[in-house]
Structure 1
C-alpha cells in the first residue's frame, strides 16, 4: 500500500472525528452549560448567561486558532443571546420552557435555510475542528457533487430533527406539570442531540464504506 492509499484510508476517520467533534463542541458545550445549571437549580437567566458565555468562548477560541470567525459558533451566541434577552420579558414558567423550543427550533431553521442557500452548517462544524484542512474541505465541497449532497442531506436531517424536538417540547409544555417538564425538556434536548451526532457519524462511515467497496 502506498502513501496516497494509506492517506485515503485514514481520511474518512479524520473527517468523521472533525465533524462529530465540531458539532459536539459548537452545539454540545453551550447546551451542557445551560442544562447542567438549569437542573442544578440556577435561575434561567444564569443558565442562559453561562450558555451564551460558553458559545462566545468557543467563538473566540476558533477565531484565535483559525484566524477566522466560526459561523456555527456565532449562530449559537446569537441564539442563546436572544434567549437571554427573552428571559427578561416574563416570569411565566411555561414561557421559559417554550423559550427552549425557540432556541432549538431557531437552530433547526438555520440549518435548513443555510443548506437551501448552499452553505451547510455541517461544513463549518467540520472545518473548525480541523482548520488546517479547511481549504481542502471547501474545495472538496465545491468540486465533488457527492460530498456536497451529503453535507446538504446531513444539514437537512439536523434541521428537521431540531424542529421536531422543538415542536414536541412545545406540545408537552401544555400537557405535563411544570416540575416534570423541566426534567423532560433537558432529557429531550440531550437525547435528540446525541442521536443526531451518532447518526451523523454512522451515516458518514456507511457512505465511505460503500465508496471503498
Structure 2
C-alpha cells in the first residue's frame, strides 16, 4: 500500500504557520504598544492574528477534519476571550485558557477513534516510519501497539499543556504586564522542546522509529521476523 507521506513543503508550511501564530502576536503587541496604543487594545488586536491563520487554513483546504476542528475551536475560544471586557491581565491569561483547552482536548481524544496527537504527528511522519512506509490507516488498523503509542502521547501532551496553562495564569496575574507576552513566547519554546524530548524518548522505547522492532512484527512476513530474531523456536 502506498503511504500518503506529507511533502516537505507541507511540513515547512506547517512549521511556518506555528512560528507565525506564536511570534506574530508578540511582535504586533510590542509594535502597537510602542506606537502609543493602550496595553489592552494592543493585546486585543494582536490576538486576532492566530485566528486569521486558522480560518485561512480551513478555507484553503475546503474541509474541516478533526485537526481543523481543533484549530477552529481554539480560534473561537480566543475570540470569545478577547471580547470579554476586562483588564489587560485577563487578555494575558488568554494564553493559559487556550493551553488548558488544548490540553483537555488532547486528553479527551486520547481514547477517540483518531486522537489529536495522532493527527498532528501524521502530517509530519507518515511514510517515514514502519517497515515499508505504510499508510497510517493500515498501521492504526493492524497494530494495537501503534494505537497505544498515540493514546499515550495524547496523555503526555495533554497533561503537560494543562500544567503549562497553570503557569501562564500565574504569570498573567503576578508579573509586570509588559513582560508577560515575551515570556509567554519563550515558554512556548521551552514547552515544545521538553515535550519533543520526552515523547521521542518514549517513541524510541516503544519501537516507533525502528522497522525491526516487535511493534511492526504483525506486518512482516515470517522470514522477515526470523531475520529480526522473532518467532524463532528452539529445536
User: Alignment partner of 1:119: what SS?
Assistant: coil
Does the CA contact (< 8 Å) of 1:34 and 1:47 recur in 2? Answer: yes
How far apart are 1:148 and its partner, in Å? 0.6
Does the CA contact (< 8 Å) of 2:106 and 2:158 recur in 1? Answer: yes
Q: Which runs of 5+ in 1 are unaligned?
A: 1-6
How far apart are 1:83 and its partner, in Å? 1.2
Kindly report which structure 2 residues correspond to 1:65-76, keeping only aligned pairs within 5 A, or say none.
Answer: 68-76=63-71
Query: CA 1:58–1:189 in 2, change beyond 3 Å: closer, same or farther?
Result: same
Q: Residue 110 of structure 1 corresponds to which residue in structure 2?
A: 105
Does the CA contact (< 8 Å) of 1:107 and 1:159 recur in 2? Answer: yes
For residues 84 and 172 of structure 1, what CA distance do their matches in structure 2 show?
21
Q: Residue 166 of structure 1 corresponds to which residue in structure 2?
A: 165
TM-score relative to the length of structure 1: 0.73
Q: Residue 219 of structure 2 corresponds to which residue in structure 1?
A: none
How far apart are 1:202 and its partner, in Å? 5.0
1:31-50 CA-to-partner distances (Å, cap 9, x unmatched) read 34433433444622332221
Q: Residue 52 of structure 1 corresponds to which residue in structure 2?
A: 51
Q: Which runs of 5+ in 2 are unaligned?
A: 34-41, 129-133, 214-235
Does the CA contact (< 8 Å) of 1:33 and 1:54 recur in 2? Answer: no
How far apart are 1:194 and its partner, in Å? 3.7
Query: CA 1:29–1:75 in 2, change beyond 3 Å: closer, same or farther?
Result: farther
How far apart are 1:139 and its partner, in Å? 2.5
How many aligned residue pairs are there? 196
User: Does residue 37 of the first structure (1) align with residue 28 of the second (2)?
Assistant: yes
User: Does residue 123 of the first structure (1) align with residue 122 of the second (2)?
Assistant: no
Query: CA 1:58–1:172 in 2, change beyond 3 Å: closer, same or farther?
Result: same
Worse overlay, 50-59 or 193-202: 193-202
1:145-190 CA-to-partner distances (Å, cap 9, x unmatched) read 1111111111111111111110111122233222222322222123
Q: Residue 182 of structure 2 corresponds to which residue in structure 1?
A: 183
Higher helix share: 1
Does the CA contact (< 8 Å) of 2:96 and 2:168 recur in 1? Answer: yes
For residues 157 and 77 of structure 2, what CA distance do their matches in structure 1 show?
21
Q: Residue 225 of structure 2 corresponds to which residue in structure 1?
A: none
Does the CA contact (< 8 Å) of 1:34 and 1:48 recur in 2? Answer: yes
Q: Residue 208 of structure 2 corresponds to which residue in structure 1?
A: 208
Query: CA 1:82–1:208 in 2, change beyond 3 Å: closer, same or farther?
Result: closer
For residues 192 and 14 of structure 2, what CA distance do their matches in structure 1 show?
9
For residues 131 and 59 of structure 1, what CA distance do their matches in structure 2 show?
21
Query: CA 1:177–1:25 in 2, change beyond 3 Å: closer, same or farther?
Result: same
For residues 118 and 72 of structure 1, what CA distance do their matches in structure 2 show?
13
